[in-house]
Amino acid sequence: MEDYESDGGRMLFAGMYVSDIAREFGTPVYVTDEQRLRKNYRDVYGAFSKEMDTRIHYACKANSNLAVLRILQQEGSGIDAVSIGEVLTCLKAGFTADRIMYTGVNVSDEELRAVSDLGVMINIDSESELERLALIGPGSQISVRINPDVGSGHSDKVITGKKGTKFGIPADRAINVYSRAKDLGFDIRGIHAHIGSGGQSVEPFVDEAEVLANITNSLGEIGIELEFIDIGGGIGVPYKMNEEPMDLNEMAIEVTDMIKMETDVKTIVLEPGRYIVADTTLLLTKCVDVKDLGTKKYVGVDAGMNTLVRPAMYDSYHHIAIADKFGKVCTAKYDVVGPICESGDYLAHERVLPDPQEGDILAVYDAGAYGFSMSSNYNSRPLCREVLVNGGKAELIREAETVEDLWRLQKVPARLLR
């Protein structure tokens, strides 16, 4: 979690007063620090590339804003995409097809054909997908997603690597699947697994690497030599003040040691999303109501579960500060709640805050991953703006929707208008 500076009780973000950004662009608004984004990419690439040849494929489902993607394209990143929409968005942002890996799940023939026609490497998720791709895109470059029966993550809803989840091919069927892929004439490049999202411990990643290394060695015995081992993403970030960040250097050493000692593979691929973007971004929201019900106090704001769904969906924690009362003495505990007509619409429970008042700007920390990308139009509320800050200057990188945008693709049959 970023430790932001204060100037006389006014919170600073990337050289600007937070309340000034909110005043200029309105609320709610997502605000991203360009230099923090670049630093995070360089940190994870630097830690692993010291140990072995490394490719970073940013998991763009975390945040697919074109400006964010363009910055990472400039930094040299590749892409992990999970839909044809993400593939096309990344091509629009300047990535070439050879820097994108498509890792879909339960993929339709139509989507498989669209991805294949673009020349993007496909990470096979099932035996059915393998057989269908042989007809749709024979000879395609592929990797195979393995379920290693190793799980990690901040919630049961985001653990993807345990046996029984919907993702990947069980490890004990891997050799047969690769053998079949060879017989079908695919250009086999790698092996992949993803164990979950938000892991804060190194050990599960090492266990995962061991499973992939053992399969890789068995593949060598049947004449299949792999170019890379892809350990997926899921590197966690500290959302609370007392949490320690993942030790990237320790993770890099232990995971790459496993690969280097146990295999002849020269390249490791990682797919961080959250680690790169989470702490780059604040969600700014305005206090519109303060309510004391005797048993509980509420701060009502203009951002809700439609704007940031993680607290309601995962019971996730995001630190919250009042921008122009930064570091002030806290007076009471409040639930921070939004305008959505649901009891589950909240951003925070039982937070100690300094005397909130209508008009205050609240800053919700670490909102860059799965913030805007999971927002919705629930209650017919338009999506909010996004802003990029660099060198003390703020630039609009997504305009807010209007109510008219909600109607734009809808059609009312003529008979209903008579």
Catalytic-residue membership of 341:
yes
Tell me which of 60, 287, 330, 341 is the catalytic residue. 341
pLDDT tens, per residue, the chain with 418 residues: 678 999 999 999 999 999 999 999 999 999 999 999 999 999 999 999 999 999 999 999 999 999 999 999 999 999 999 999 999 999 999 999 999 999 999 999 999 999 999 999 999 999 999 999 999 999 999 999 999 877 555 555 555 656 677 889 999 999 999 999 999 999 999 999 998 766 678 988 999 999 999 999 999 999 999 999 999 998 989 999 888 888 999 999 999 999 999 999 999 999 999 999 999 999 999 999 999 999 999 999 999 999 999 999 999 999 999 999 998 888 899 999 999 999 999 999 999 999 999 999 999 999 999 999 999 999 999 999 999 999 999 999 999 999 999 999 999 999 999 9
Rg of the chain over Cα atoms, rounded to whole angstroms, equals: 23
Amino acid letter at 1? M
Domains of the chain: 6-32+279-407 (2.40.37.10), 64-272 (3.20.20.10)
Q: 315: part of which helix (H) or strand (E)? A: none
Backbone angles phi, psi at 359, to 5 degrees: 100, -20
C-alpha span between 276 and 197 (Å, rounded): 13
Q: Distance from CA of residue 362 to its chain's centroid?
A: 23
C-alpha span between 252 and 262 (Å, rounded): 15
CB atoms within 10 A of CB 334: 24
- Of the candidates 208, 212, 205, 207, the residue with the CA atom closest to the CA atom of residue 226: 212
